[in-house]
A = this chain, B = another copy of it.
Amino acid sequence: MSSQISLYIVWFVLCVHSRCSVQSNDSNKKPNFIILFMDDMGWGDLGCYGHPARETPNLDKMASQGLLFTDFYTASAICSPSRASLLTGRLPIRNGFYSTNQVARNSYAPQEVLGGIAASEVLISEVLQKAGYRNKIVGKWHLGHQAEYLPLRHGFHEWFGAPNCHYKYDGKIIPNIPVYKDHLMTGRYYDDYKIDHETGVANLTQMYIEEALVFLDRQAKAKQPFFLYWAPDATHTPLYASEKFRGHSSRGLYGDAVMEIDYGVGKILDKLKQLHLDDNTFMFFSSDNGAATYAFTEGGSNGPFLCGKQTTFEGGFRQPAIARWPGMIKGGQVSHQVGNLMDLYLTMLDMASLSRPKGVVFDGISLLPTMLNGTKKDRPVFYYRGDTLFKVRLGQYKAHFYTWNTPREAQDIGYHYCPGQRIDKVTTDQMANYTQAPLLFHLGRDPGEKFIIPSHTAEYQTVMPRLLKTVHEHRRDLRPAKPQFNLCDLAVQNWAPAGCEKINRCQMAPMSYLYNCTWPY
């Protein structure tokens, strides 16, 4: 036994046919919300999703106390668009988190990009703010780093964390990777907030945990409903973990980072209990995209699914997802409802009995009926790569209109999205166009998308028209937003964020020079 704490599974009969009797929710008392949002964590990384290491006792406990989704999706196989979709309830093609500079390329928000979350987008944080919530984001934002895009302009009252990814920059003069405390930069990743390049030791996750706990304490005292968006980034390369966790996992540094985050989830669960917030707090766990298979042993696991981050195969899009709300959601549930990060928006509005913002087209649905009563709704999944719809799922069926493994430019910088996996016609080296005769898969019999259902079969001929109709309807109503990720400029990097003066971290920006961003993904 590797651990003092182990798994105990108890079974019981759920009310499925009849409406479950749940505690009546005091309509004056708004529920609290916590979203635990992971970075590059895969479907297969948790014990309760079958990872052989079983090193996530607290997340497994959270699942035991709530509802685990087997078929939950992201809206994008890459970070920024996924995060934008979570907070807007809309596909990237609708909220602008894409580029038209290249066909079918994933694009995210690095420091050179001009764009970010448009003022016209109504984030869930904004709706909750208007409804009297106190909102805090801890960790990674990634919806644009220029002043107008930062979280405190978009419904959050508080922030501790970074606007972008924490890449290692080379060279002597490098822009800040700022850590913000609310409106102001308080230091640089690597320098003021140390990450040891050799060992991967850093204390950032501990800080992110502490920020969450202090916030919960404060909100409990204030008796004000809250939305905590907890988005640590230790599982995104370059990986890191604190001294206390370094070397503890059987999986290496990635596992150490997972164990530390899991520990943090345990602390948050303890705190909720201690503060008697359990019964009135909806907590949701998921991840932004599939595990980064290109990070080799430094990346997570997508379980039995194909490829990972950056791709529209299941390994890129299917996410771990756990809902917990002891006062309302029965524990011990497993749901096969097809869910999406975009559903959180309308689900939370439903939970708080708030109206939807007018005139906004949503791509999500409310999952509250599923969570409370076990109802199941047939609904599609659209798998975009950049500006292009690559695949669609409806029921157990998935059609591939385009397939692509790793673009040449990504290979040139050492990326391979499907290491060890190779399927004829599916993990194609070039972007393959199957729109005239889409490839069909049955995800129940074949979760790994290995076996193409031949087009001459009755199954194909029955199913494909339904899938094509779904896509036709989706396209008919779609008005793509202005792409946010077309323009770049080195001058817009984080040279001198607000607050840099006080800590002597301001740098001179280079001359402004606008150019079309390109993406190797």
Q: Please name all residues of chain B whose beta carbon is closer than 8 Å to the beta carbon of A160 when the two chains form the complex.
A: none
* 401-446 of chain A: CB within 8 A of chain B: 419-423, 442, 444-446
Q: Please name all residues of chain B whose beta carbon is closer than 8 Å to the beta carbon of A8 when the two chains form the complex.
A: 9-12, 64, 331-332
Q: Please name all residues of chain B whose beta carbon is closer than 8 Å to the beta carbon of A60 when the two chains form the complex.
A: 9, 11
In the complex the two chains form, what is the Cα distance from A447 to B52 in whole Å? 8
Given known pairs A52-B447, A421-B421, the reply for A11 and B7 (CB within 8 Å) is: yes
Q: Please name all residues of chain B whose beta carbon is closer than 8 Å to the beta carbon of A357 when the two chains form the complex.
A: none
* 293-307 of chain A: CB within 8 A of chain B: 296-297, 301, 303-304, 306
Within the complex, what minimum Cβ distance (angstroms) separates A422 from chain B? 4
Does A25 make an interface contact (CB < 8 A)?
Answer: no
Given contacts A251-B444, A297-B442, A303-B303, 7 further A-B contacts (CB under 8 A): A1-B334, A7-B64, A8-B331, A11-B60, A54-B334, A254-B445, A421-B422
* B-contact bits for A244-259, CB 8 A (1 contact / 0 none): 0000011110110000
Q: Please name all residues of chain B whose beta carbon is closer than 8 Å to the beta carbon of A3 when the two chains form the complex.
A: 16, 334
Within the complex, what minimum Cβ distance (angstroms) separates A513 from chain B? 40
Stretch of A42-50, A135-143, A163-171, A174-182 contacting B (4+ beta carbons < 8 Å): A42-50
In the complex the two chains form, what is the Cα distance from A252 to B396 in whole Å? 11
Chain B residue at smallest Cβ distance from A447: B52
A sample of 13 inter-chain contacts (CB < 8 A) reads A2-B334, A5-B11, A6-B14, A8-B11, A9-B48, A9-B63, A9-B332, A47-B334, A250-B396, A252-B444, A254-B445, A297-B446, A304-B304
In the complex the two chains form, what is the Cα distance from A370 to B50 in whole Å? 21
Q: How many copies does the complex hold?
A: 2
Residue A61 contacts which of B4, B11, B16, B48 (CB distance < 8 angstroms)?
A: B11
* B-contact bits for A331-352, CB 8 A (1 contact / 0 none): 1111111000000000000000
Residue A13 contacts which of B4, B303, B445 (CB distance < 8 angstroms)?
A: B4
* B-contact bits for A76-119, CB 8 A (1 contact / 0 none): 00000000000000000000000000000000000000000000
Q: Please name all residues of chain B whose beta carbon is closer than 8 Å to the beta carbon of A423 when the two chains form the complex.
A: 419-420
Contact B1 A333 (CB under 8 A): yes
In the complex the two chains form, what is the Cα distance from A254 to B442 in whole Å? 14
- Most central of A6, A255, A331, A337 by chain B CB within 10 Å: A6
In the complex the two chains form, what is the Cα distance from A54 to B71 in whole Å? 11
In the complex the two chains form, what is the Cα distance from A251 to B444 in whole Å? 5
Contact B304 A52 (CB under 8 A): yes
Does A448 make an interface contact (CB < 8 A)?
Answer: yes
Does A51 make an interface contact (CB < 8 A)?
Answer: yes
Contact B9 A7 (CB under 8 A): yes
Contact A420 B1 (CB under 8 A): no
Does A241 make an interface contact (CB < 8 A)?
Answer: no
Does A68 make an interface contact (CB < 8 A)?
Answer: yes
In the complex the two chains form, what is the Cα distance from A51 to B447 in whole Å? 10
Contact A68 B296 (CB under 8 A): no
Q: Please name all residues of chain B whose beta carbon is closer than 8 Å to the beta carbon of A50 when the two chains form the complex.
A: 44, 48-51, 303-304
Within the complex, what minimum Cβ distance (angstroms) separates A246 from chain B? 14
Within the complex, what minimum Cβ distance (angstroms) separates A520 from chain B? 22
Q: Please name all residues of chain B whose beta carbon is closer than 8 Å to the beta carbon of A49 when the two chains form the complex.
A: 50
Does A503 make an interface contact (CB < 8 A)?
Answer: no
Within the complex, what minimum Cβ distance (angstroms) separates A170 from chain B? 24
Residue A306 contacts which of B296, B420, B450 (CB distance < 8 angstroms)?
A: B420
In the complex the two chains form, what is the Cα distance from A337 to B6 in whole Å? 14
Does A57 make an interface contact (CB < 8 A)?
Answer: yes
Within the complex, what minimum Cβ distance (angstroms) separates A304 from chain B? 6
